Amino acid sequence: MANELSKPFEKSALSEEDLYKMNKEKKVQITSFAFMIFLTFLAFIAVATEMVAPAFAVPFILVLAGMQFFLQMFYFMHLKDKGHEWANTFIIAGVVLSTPALIALTFLLGMTKY
């Protein structure tokens, strides 16, 4: 039993159908990678060329970052897949609880009184 855990396998248990699904999934991943690159381009261009008004640029690139966060987490890290319910719970809790802390540290340092 124990040494079985350290033994490699002759073959894979994947069926044809599994393989088909997996290849499809892989294509989705590569597409999402292309999309991430695109988002990154947009963000850099928005700032570098000053095409977007500076007041609008910040929220714009933050939204882009949010989208990338989503893609990385749900596609690359598979949060969208089955069996990730608890993982989702914890990450969402982490993000939700980070928010007030981030806001406070950014704005509530007593420089401006809110």
Partner 1 sequence: MADHVDMTKGLPSNPEKATLEGRNKFLGFWIFLSGETIMFATFFGAFLGLREGTAGGPTAEELFQLPLVFIMTMLLLTSSLTSVLAMYAMKRNNFKAMMIWMSTTVLLGLAFLGLEIYEFVEYVHHGLGYTTSAFGSSFYTLVGLHGAHVVFGLAWISTLLIRYAKSGITLTNAPKFYVASLYWHFIDVVWVFIFTVVYLMGIGGA
Partner 2 sequence: MADYSAIIKEKKDKSVLMDWLTTVDHKKLGVMYLIAGTLFFLKAGLMAVFMRIQLMFPESNFLDGQTYNEFITMHGTIMLFLAATPLLFAFMNYIIPLQIGARDVAFPFVNALGFWIFFFGGLLLSVSWFFGGAPDAGWTAYVPLSAGDYGHLGMDFYVIGLQISGIGTLISAINFIVTIVNMRAPGMTMMRMPLFCWTSLVTSLLIVFAFTPLAAGLALLMLDRLFGAQFFSPDSGGNAVLWQHIFWIFGHPEVYILVLPAFGIISEVIPAFSRKRLFGYTAMVFATLIIAFLGFMVWVHHMFTVGIGPVTNSVFAIATMAIGIPTGIKIFNWLFTMWGGKLTFNTAMLCASSFVPTFVLGGVTGVMLSMVPVDYLYHDTYFVVAHFHYIIVGGIVLGLLAGLYYWYPKMFGHHLNEKLGMLMFWMFYIGFHMTFFVQHILGLIGMPRRVYTYLEGQGMDTMNLISSIGAFLMSAGIIVLVINIVYSALKSERVVVSDPWDARTLEWSTPTPIPEYNFAQVPQVRSLDPLFYEKIHGDGKMKPAEPLSDIHMPNGSILPFIIGIGMFVWGFGMIMLNMENAIITPYAVIIPGFLLTFGSMLVRSIKEDHGYHITVEELKKLEKEVS
Task: Draw the binding track, 70-109, toward partner 2 (x: CB under 8 A; -: no contact).
Answer: ----------------x---x--xx--x--xx--xx--xx
φ, ψ for residue 70, nearest 5 deg = -60, -45
The first and second tokens of residue 90, run together, are 């914890």
Residues whose CB falls within 8 Å of the CB of residue 57, separated by 6 or more in sequence, listed in order: 46, 47, 50
- Of 58 and 80, nearer to partner 1 (C-beta) is 58
**CB-nearer residue toward partner 2: 65 or 108:** 108
Q: Which residue has the tokens 């597409």?
A: 31
Point out which residues bind partner 2 (CB under 8 A).
1-3, 5-6, 86, 90, 93-94, 97, 100-101, 104-105, 108-114
